[in-house]
Structure 1
């Protein structure tokens, strides 16, 4: 097991080198400038689309804009925000948070392009059902000669979307925050982890075998309320340590460029650490969210791209920032012996009154982790369907739920290394195809916003005529 862990760590570190950093971050900056900062200029329009102002139930697809974003956020607003940020700070210090912000900033543009393409170049699976995602973008947009790249993405997606990180951290928080403090599960941790893992398998199976519509419905109900609860808890922590907030921001900016706290001053390493955790957190450029947004009920690709770009903003610029500030202002990043979710639990437990902090976090973790478990299964089945045919895609879910047990019993180091490495592999075809097809996205965007301006002018003209009458 130790040899496997060392192999996975070596693979992950090799995958997340300078070339991938340039592809993700450099590509994101290219999208942002090429689009003329479109994600920020049309933020209001994106919110109107999300609110359902332009929904048409007769449009092709499986779920509406809100459910598509909620389901994508169900996979991203989860353990990556709670324990992933803690892992990042433990590894790279507070400065990692700054580079996560940068990644999210450019990630909004990346999401706009990749998810617009997911609608623009939807394909059909072997059963004739409309599907979206990088593999279909490559096949339909670049042509059949590029199919090996689509196959490469799908193979990496089979493993990159496994639920092992969520299972690992959910098991850890249940055992270390709920059971052990009450004198339970203090001995034979492997068997307790195994039992928790099997319970997770049972609960997850009830939802994922119902398909994307059930996943979208569950995520749409659960995610918003949990985000609000989590934000309220962190705001309480910040107000309780309000005098430390300015120092926390100063520390983030200072360490982002000096990295003196860790990594021996290796600024390049801390940038990579931030990019890795941001990619795991908001998935911009990875391609998973494009598969979810590709299922949206719309025939307007630009609209779905605008909705999708809200993901990195909510996920990283809001939720991850709150987690990072809670860990920094409470000082647990320096005083806690824990890693991952245990560190975040220490920050909550030491700040919220009446000893409820850890339990509030457990509740949020339960919802975040389960919604992530539900959504990730959808990504894996789409990859499996592309590779082996739609009639066999249900078989992937059996493999999927089995790996939950592996995640619950494996070390966090091995789990993170496997997911990080596969995310890196998925990013290559996703970003390459998006960069090649970016002129087509901008052509579609210019045409779409021209129609919207003409429509708005027509409405105003009608209003003027009504007033004159």
Structure 2
């Protein structure tokens, strides 16, 4: 009976993450990109100025700064998808998969601009009278109360989709494979339980302190770990400098030749299969259109929606164009993708171990731990916000206890049923998010044109 249910849930997750979702996320994102005439990309410099705090105003509505909102959102997206997910993409698709991940990121930048602008444009009030932002609020405030079922659907999916079972399960596996097993430590239920309790202790200290503590921790952890990861990969590229140009070129040529693709074909060809693989991995990594980022950016201290949209747009650039590319280059230039049967996080660990035999795997594990643990903080906030919308602000703290329990579950069991259910429901969050975003896109464009006009006028006056 369990096997049948597990098979059904696995099919459900595969179906949800299939072609229809990719059409919604990538097709919808591409429409937004063309519809805006690439407008947000023309203001990347301005986005960086906003991120640095040039336009911060303490009197504006909201809880956290632009920088804290971005790092909180990034703390959820930069994780196992950037390290294990990229390895899976390369092991199946070869170097060409990276190119299609880049395409997904560029389209995702446009999607996050629109969704996070809407999160500020249509902020609502929770049951305690506090200002809140996110897909459920811009659905209600932007589309009207008749669309409430769509907002409820997003929140219900968010309760399950935000649970950290998969993330914790993969993190525990990484600790076991990189540290415990090679050093002769017996891996069993007890060792996994200890890992789970440690994760619970760290997570509880942060998430029980609310959004301000989450954003402060994320704003310190995420940039420092990205810089460390960047430095480590630069060292790997330096050690293998002679082959870097070859593999960088191969990313582009193999994207259309698909000579290293070993997965299923799509529409009768391996190129179609490669495109789907790369775009799916990119979308899974940066979460553009899923609706998680607007939950963080909706709390930003600003009265200018377009500013937050521009800051949010930097998310996929950092997540996929930078961090995923770093992982890909480390795997490619060390040659481990061709010389080992390893997959996922083990393949990335092999790449770091090949370039830095003594300590490479441990430094990678440090990055994995910080990326994964920081994502635990933000997802707890997302789930609590969804519960608050459904049953009121005074009850949202109950989600934290349920969330903490799921960390223990993720560390001590490998329930494929639970992981597939969470994976599938997480993807369903994109349906209400993208539906509302596509309907409200014209209003974002009107607001954007008005904002850039005001910006131009203020510069002329100066």
TM-score, normalization: structure 1? 0.93
The 8 Å contact of residues 407 and 415 in structure 1, kept in 2 or not, is answered as no
Q: Which residue of 2 aligns with 1:218?
A: 217
1:5-35 per-position Cα deviation (integer Å, ceiling 9, x unaligned): 4333211111123222111111111111111
Q: Which residue of 1 aligns with 2:194?
A: 195
d(CA) in 2 for partners of 1:294 and 1:148?
A: 21
d(CA) in 2 for partners of 1:252 and 1:425?
A: 31
Q: Indicate whether 1:421 and 2:424 are aligned.
A: yes
| Number of residue equivalences | 456
d(CA) in 1 for partners of 2:353 and 2:144?
A: 54
Q: Which residue of 1 aligns with 2:65?
A: 64
d(CA) in 2 for partners of 1:7 and 1:244?
A: 45
For structure 1, which segment, 153-162 or 449-458, has the greater mean C-alpha deviation from structure 2 after superposition?
A: 153-162
Q: Indicate whether 1:371 and 2:374 are aligned.
A: yes
Q: Which residue of 2 aligns with 1:386?
A: 389
For structure 1, which segment, 420-429 or 120-129, has the greater mean C-alpha deviation from structure 2 after superposition?
A: 420-429
The 8 Å contact of residues 264 and 273 in structure 2, kept in 1 or not, is answered as no
For structure 1, which segment, 70-79 or 132-141, has the greater mean C-alpha deviation from structure 2 after superposition?
A: 70-79
How far off its partner does 1:416 sit?
5.7
Q: Which residue of 2 aligns with 1:466?
A: none
Q: Pairwise mapping of residues 313-324 of structure 1 onto structure 2 (< 5 A)?
A: 313-324=317-328
The 8 Å contact of residues 165 and 412 in structure 1, kept in 2 or not, is answered as no
The 8 Å contact of residues 49 and 55 in structure 1, kept in 2 or not, is answered as yes
For structure 1, which segment, 151-160 or 245-254, has the greater mean C-alpha deviation from structure 2 after superposition?
A: 245-254
Q: Which residue of 1 aligns with 2:126?
A: 125
The SS at the match of 1:57 is coil
Q: Which residue of 1 aligns with 2:412?
A: 409
For structure 1, which segment, 40-49 or 88-97, has the greater mean C-alpha deviation from structure 2 after superposition?
A: 88-97
1:29-73 per-position Cα deviation (integer Å, ceiling 9, x unaligned): 111111121232000000000010010111111100000001111
For structure 1, which segment, 74-83 or 394-403, has the greater mean C-alpha deviation from structure 2 after superposition?
A: 74-83
For structure 1, which segment, 386-395 or 414-423, has the greater mean C-alpha deviation from structure 2 after superposition?
A: 414-423
How far off its partner does 1:435 sit?
0.5
Q: Which residue of 2 aligns with 1:262?
A: 262
How far off its partner does 1:268 sit?
3.3
The 8 Å contact of residues 38 and 109 in structure 1, kept in 2 or not, is answered as no
For structure 1, which segment, 382-391 or 411-420, has the greater mean C-alpha deviation from structure 2 after superposition?
A: 411-420
The SS at the match of 1:263 is coil
How far off its partner does 1:391 sit?
0.8
1:309-356 per-position Cα deviation (integer Å, ceiling 9, x unaligned): 000001100110110111122222233343322221111111025x11
1:167-221 per-position Cα deviation (integer Å, ceiling 9, x unaligned): 1222112111111111112x5x333223212221122111111100000000111
Q: Which residue of 2 aligns with 1:287?
A: 291
Q: Which residue of 2 aligns with 1:116?
A: 117
Q: Which residue of 1 aligns with 2:135?
A: 134
Q: Pairwise mapping of residues 90-109 of structure 1 onto structure 2 (< 5 A)?
A: 90-109=91-110
The 8 Å contact of residues 280 and 420 in structure 1, kept in 2 or not, is answered as no
The 8 Å contact of residues 109 and 309 in structure 1, kept in 2 or not, is answered as yes
Q: Which runs of 5+ in 1 are unaligned?
A: 460-469
Q: Which residue of 2 aligns with 1:298?
A: 302
Q: Which residue of 2 aligns with 1:40?
A: 41
The 8 Å contact of residues 152 and 390 in structure 2, kept in 1 or not, is answered as yes
Q: Indicate whether 1:243 and 2:217 are aligned.
A: no
How far off its partner does 1:458 sit?
0.3
Q: Which residue of 2 aligns with 1:163?
A: 164
Across the aligned residues of Structure 1 and Structure 2, the Cα RMSD in angstroms comes to 1.8
How far off its partner does 1:76 sit?
1.1
d(CA) in 1 for partners of 2:417 and 2:276?
A: 19
Shift in CA distance, 244/414, structure 1 to aligned 2, threshold 3 Å: farther
The 8 Å contact of residues 16 and 272 in structure 1, kept in 2 or not, is answered as no
Q: Which residue of 1 aligns with 2:437?
A: 434
d(CA) in 2 for partners of 1:386 and 1:336?
A: 48
How far off its partner does 1:298 sit?
0.5
d(CA) in 2 for partners of 1:81 and 1:366?
A: 13
How far off its partner does 1:82 sit?
1.3
Q: Which residue of 2 aligns with 1:449?
A: 452
Q: Which residue of 2 aligns with 1:152?
A: 153
